[in-house]
Each structure stands twice: as structure tokens, then as C-alpha cells.
Copies of this chain bind each other. A is one copy, B any other.
């Protein structure tokens, strides 16, 4: 089949690739319709590795996908041919110790699309377990459904925060993950989000997403703004989505006593952490690694209109232009959030 293949670092090829996939009794076969380009795809493209995961053989890229079911295994009862779906890209071992506890995202044996040596889905079709394939509400487009994967990270963050209805949240970083975390926080019960970044176009887009106050931390003091908005009390939740060391160093300053910080962004190296600043507030800190159990929840919130990701899909390319799409995404302008590729 035709696929977008990362041959080696900085070398993409759009062309034939031999891949045979048998349909197991609990699997479905899916025609791919839309694929989003993720920062990790770009990272493999440019660097050839992410941490311990090294591209040592040609690998198909892409893991944010939606499509249509074309074949179902004999034991599948939840899906049928023609269903519009999106897919969780990581498949755990259901018998691992982490999976048995419900923490399947923490199973070290997870096989994840476009993480070496597992192929991604920039190709016409894929076979996938029905348990990790989710039907899309009628009102949700393929483009929106391909956003569920990044949105799921924000949903996991919102779940971990254990938001109480009416919480005030700070979201640090207005990149794609900051944006979806802001959406998930608002849909998950926050009354208001204070969104920070140093790039004004990102903040402008973020401010259009709902009750969001943008703070350009290159010019304004987050701590002062939060203090003014809360009578000196602080924010209930701080979602750190930038991965930047200065943001992480200041994560507790805007937090209220007894508040929660959720660390979503992955910094390049260990960071400086203000233990005493966290202690005097008895902060709870949660960490996010991908997601578990949130795809159907994200789809439900999109279906009911509580979450609208359409403003985040800023750029669309055809499959034939996949290589150009990657080039574009590798140098995404600050007015853009997410580039997607549509398949025929």
C-alpha cells in the first residue's frame, strides 16, 4: 500500500510499502480518512529518535487518526462496517500488571503507532483492536475526530486534576497541548482558564476558545494577575503544558493553598523544583503520560458541543502533499495549531 515512510532522519518518502495485516477475531479493519501531524512525528523526522526510541528501519509515521470501519472480526459486537471511528494509537498487554490495575497507559509493553519499531497510520488502512476503536458521534467530522488523540492528553490532565466545579485554572503554554488542555479544563468543570505564553498569536487564538484570559508572560506577571483575580488566594489548578524550565520553576507561585499542579509538558532535562514553595501550600502534583479511558469521554463532550476543536485545525493537506505538510509542520507559524493530512 502507499504510505508516508520515514526512511531515515530527515528523509521522508511517499510511496509503496509492503505491510500485511491479518484481522484477528477482536479486530477491525479501518480505512484512514484524516491524520494529524504531532510534534513527536516531527521529532522523529528531524532527530530520528525520542529518548530510548530510535528509528532503525523505515517506519510509517502518524498516530492521530480517524477513519471508517471496513471489516470486523468474528467476536466484535461494538462496531460494524461503515462506522465512522477514531483510534487509540497505543495497544497494551491486557494481562500486564499495570493493565490489570486499569493503568494501561503505564504498561511498558504498550505498542504505540509511529514509535519504533511500530508503524504509524499515514497509509490507506490499518487493522486495530475493536476495544481501542471508538465510534464518532454524527455531528463530529473526521478532522475533529483526528483531534481526539491530542485532546485525550488534555482530558487525562483534566481528569488527574480532579477539578471541582467552578475551579479557576492556569494553563501554562499555548501550544497544541496547552490549547486542548484549556478546552478539557473548561469542559471538565473549570469556570475560567488563564492561558500563558510568550507568543501573542497563540494567546489570541486561545482567548477565542471560551472564558480564557490570555497572559503574555513576556510582558505581564502571571502571579500578579492571578492574585488580583482571586483576592490573593491563587488558582485551584495549574496545568503546566510548556515543558519549559522557567515555567516549571514557577508552577507553585500562582497556586492556592491545597491546590493541584498537573505536569503535562515534557522538559528536555531534569528541572529545578521549588519543594518548599509546594510544601507551604501542600500542593498536590500530578503527572500525565498519554491517557487511559478518555477517548469515549472526549467524543461524548465533542458530541454534546461542550468541546469544539475546530478552531485548532488550522491547516489541511492532501495525502499526496504529505511531505510538504511535514515541512510546513516542522516550521509551524505561531498562528497555526494543528496541521492535518486527509486521505482519499
- Chain A residues with CB under 8 Å of chain B are 26, 51, 78, 94-95, 97-106, 131, 155, 158-160, 162-168, 184, 186-189, 191-192, 210-211, 231, 233, 248-249, 257-258, 263, 266-267, 270-276, 278-289, 293-294, 296-298, 300-301, 303-306
Q: List 12 A-B contacts (CB under 8 A).
A: A94-B100, A95-B131, A98-B258, A103-B257, A103-B282, A106-B281, A162-B162, A165-B294, A188-B189, A192-B304, A270-B275, A282-B288
Q: Are A275 and B266 in contact (CB under 8 A)?
A: yes
Q: A100-B102, A166-B294, A285-B287 are in contact. List 12 more A-B contacts (CB 8 A).
A: A51-B276, A78-B231, A95-B131, A102-B102, A103-B258, A159-B165, A163-B189, A165-B188, A165-B301, A192-B304, A263-B279, A275-B287
Query: Given A100-B94, A100-B99, A102-B100, A273 and B276 touching (CB < 8 A)?
Result: no
Q: Considering the chains assembled together, what is the distance between the CA atoms of A276 and B288 in angstroms? A: 9
Instruction: Select A233's contact among B97, B159, B233, beta carbons within 8 Å.
Output: B97
Q: Considering the chains assembled together, what is the distance between the CA atoms of A286 and B188 in angstroms? A: 20
Query: Given A248-B275, A304-B211, A287 and B296 touching (CB < 8 A)?
Result: no
Q: Considering the chains assembled together, what is the distance between the CA atoms of A127 and B289 in angstroms? A: 37
Q: Considering the chains assembled together, what is the distance between the CA atoms of A131 and B101 in angstroms? A: 12
Q: Are B279 and A288 in contact (CB under 8 A)?
A: yes
Q: Are A168 and B300 in contact (CB under 8 A)?
A: yes
Q: Considering the chains assembled together, what is the distance between the CA atoms of A165 and B184 in angstroms? A: 8
Nearest neighbor of A98 in chain B, beta-carbon distance = B257
Q: Are A271 and B275 in contact (CB under 8 A)?
A: yes
Instruction: Select A99's contact among B94, B106, B186, beta carbons within 8 Å.
Output: B94
Nearest neighbor of A280 in chain B, beta-carbon distance = B289
Q: Considering the chains assembled together, what is the distance between the CA atoms of A186 and B267 in angstroms? A: 34
Q: Are B101 and A258 in contact (CB under 8 A)?
A: yes
